[in-house]
Amino acid sequence: MDWGNLDTNGDGTWTAEESERDEMNMGCHLGILLVDLFRSAVSGLKQDALDASSAADIRLTLPLSVVQGQAIPQNYFTWWRGLVGMCQYGTADLCEDMMRRGTFSFLLQEDMAFMRGGVSDIDSALKYCKRLLQPGGICDDALP
């Protein structure tokens, strides 16, 4: 999904208004109303922040625009797309295999310090994966 098709004014954020207008007719291409995709992204980001806060005993701060459901900055949307990709793996049983393949190595990079889902090392990355994919986890609760 090309970011330019969502952030149609090029300001670095995808807004609720842009999702409602759907100037690029992305809803038709995706088979889901773009406003529903926007709401799902906001919900997923909030759920992930809540999970990180409770699991890692940290306060993961989201931009006010996300909390209020008004806009999603590009880097947060990229994070959410990664969550959606992870959820397509299916079950928590696959987490160890994903760890061996380096799926979570990007979480340990310095430029990802603004979010990470409470991940600080390999052990916490494995726990995060299992929290995502377990029944009733983030994937079940907050993603399309």
pLDDT band at residue 111 under the 50/70/90 scheme: low
**Which tokens is 61 given?**
């701060």
The answer to whether the CB of 72 falls within 8 A of the CB of 16 is no
Residues 6+ apart with CB under 8 A from 112: 106
Copy the structure tokens of residue 1: 């999904």
Task: Count each helix (H run) and each strand (E run) in the chain, helices first.
Answer: 9, 2
Q: Number of folded domains in the chain? A: 1
The model carries a pTM of 0.84
Residue 126 lies in a domain: yes
**138 vs 55: which has the higher pLDDT:** 138
> Across the strands, what pairs with 68?
none
pLDDT of residue 129: 87
Is residue 144 in some structural domain?
A: no
Confirm whether 125 is domain-assigned: yes
pLDDT score, position 37: 94
Q: Do 36 and 144 meet the contact criterion of CB atoms below 8 Å apart? A: yes
Q: Is residue 129 in some structural domain?
A: yes
Residue 89 lies in a domain: yes
pLDDT tens sequence across 72-110:
999 999 888 888 888 887 788 888 888 888 877 766 666
Model confidence pLDDT, tens digit, residues 25-53: 999 999 999 999 999 999 999 988 888 87
Cα distance between residue 23 and residue 15, in whole Å: 12
The boundaries of the domain holding residue 27 are: 3-139
Instruction: Tell me the Cα Rg of the chain.
Output: 15
Residue 109: the pLDDT is: 66
Question: 82 in a domain, yes or no?
Answer: yes
- Full 3-state SS string of 11-48: CCEEEHHHHHHCCCCHHHHHCCCHHHHHHHHHHHHHHH
43 within a domain of the structure (yes/no): yes
Say which amino acid occupies 29: H
- What are the CA-CA distances from residue 51 to residues 24, 44, 92, 110, 139 (Å)? 33, 10, 16, 21, 11
Higher pLDDT among residues 134 and 70, named by residue = 70
* Average pLDDT for the chain: 85
Q: Is residue 29 part of a domain?
A: yes
